Homo-oligomer: A and B are copies of this chain.
Amino acid sequence: MLDCVIIGTGAAGVSAALTLKALNKNFIWLGNKDLSIKIRSAEKIKNFAGLPSVSGEEMKSAFLKQIKAEGIEITEGKVNGVYPADGGYSVMCGQQLYEGKTVILATGVEAVKPVKGEVEFLGRGVSYCAVCDGFLYKGKEIAVAIDSDEEESEVRLLAGYARTVHLFRLKKCSEIIGENIVNEEGVITEIKGGMRAGAVVCGGREIAVDGVFMLKQSVGADKLVHGLKAEGGHVVVDRACATNLAGIFAAGDITGRPYQYAKAVGEGNVAAYSVNAYLGGVGRA
């Protein structure tokens, strides 16, 4: 079992990984090898101590170079659930399972609010993960909502299974052209159903579907971890970045405002020290 699983490759994840490495801990770091969209897409950052007036791309390059120099690797993948395990937690990432004594949640803030019915039908026809659940919809009719162009490969994966993909955009994204992909106008305002999700509502229209995939860059962490305390879309943490669940820590935008790189880097560092203390080492006083 690993000492820690870090989830998320934004500024908080970078800082947590650097610090766990310095503390000689045994961890895996899940996310995007190209770091987070939030880092990459920033136009100009003028108040991050150490990197004077950088663009997001420059910050990304600086972080990636530093991580590489420290011999730290990123494992690509999207986490779809964190579950209690003997002596720690199991983190489900795509079809892989990783076990850690501790977890650092650094997945950022949910950019898009859940639509009506999304949380209610989660696991009953609503999924956040194409890789995990796509095969369940072979030959079926599905609705897929995306919030960035980066989800194209997941949409194509789903299109390979489904009869028809009704594609919705939660934010400004390009259309995705495919034989069985219908680029729908408007947004999903509700997911309806009985025991399972059975339809999406869009602009007064109802489209009957067998399943709904909400593919988002960041999903509210309280949906990934059962029993995690959250308020107003943020995970509740104390000054040590500890959540209400023993061994689970959170850092960065996920814990609340200000949504700033410096704050995220600070909390990633604190969370790593708290992991160290939790495992019996030096940490917070």
Which residues does chain B contribute within 8 Å of A52, judged by CB atoms? 62, 65-66, 69-70
A21 interfacial contact with B, CB 8 Å: yes
Beyond A50-B265, A237-B239, A238-B239, 14 additional pairs, beta carbon < 8 A: A18-B47, A19-B47, A21-B47, A46-B70, A48-B50, A49-B265, A50-B51, A52-B66, A256-B285, A258-B283, A258-B284, A260-B269, A263-B273, A264-B266
Residues of A within 8 A of B (CB): 11, 14-15, 18-19, 21-22, 46-53, 59, 62-63, 65-66, 69-70, 232, 234, 237-239, 255-258, 260, 262-270, 273, 282-285
Which residues does chain B contribute within 8 Å of A46, judged by CB atoms? 18, 21-22, 70
In angstroms, Cα B258 to Cα A239, docked, is: 11
In angstroms, Cα B272 to Cα A260, docked, is: 11
Given A15-B49, A46-B22, the answer on whether A284 and B262 have CB atoms closer than 8 Å is no
Q: Nearest-CB distance from A66 to chain B (Å)?
A: 4
Across the interface, A69 reaches (CB within 8 A) one of B14, B19, B53, B234, namely: B53
Given A49-B14, A232-B285, the answer on whether A262 and B268 have CB atoms closer than 8 Å is yes
In the complex, the answer to whether B269 meets A262 with C-beta atoms within 8 Å is yes
In angstroms, Cα B15 to Cα A59, docked, is: 17
In angstroms, Cα B264 to Cα A263, docked, is: 9
Q: Which of A18, A21, A234 has the most CB of B within 10 A?
A: A18
In the complex, the answer to whether A22 meets B47 with C-beta atoms within 8 Å is yes
Which residues does chain B contribute within 8 Å of A59, judged by CB atoms? 50
Across the interface, A267 reaches (CB within 8 A) one of B22, B70, B266, namely: B266
A-B contact pairs, 27 of them (CB 8 A): A11-B49, A14-B49, A15-B47, A18-B46, A18-B49, A21-B47, A47-B269, A48-B50, A49-B63, A49-B265, A49-B268, A50-B50, A50-B59, A51-B51, A52-B70, A53-B66, A258-B269, A258-B282, A258-B283, A260-B269, A262-B268, A262-B269, A263-B266, A265-B265, A266-B266, A266-B267, A266-B270
Nearest residue, chain B, Cβ from A59? B50
Nearest residue, chain B, Cβ from A267? B266
Given A18-B46, A62-B50, the answer on whether A257 and B269 have CB atoms closer than 8 Å is no
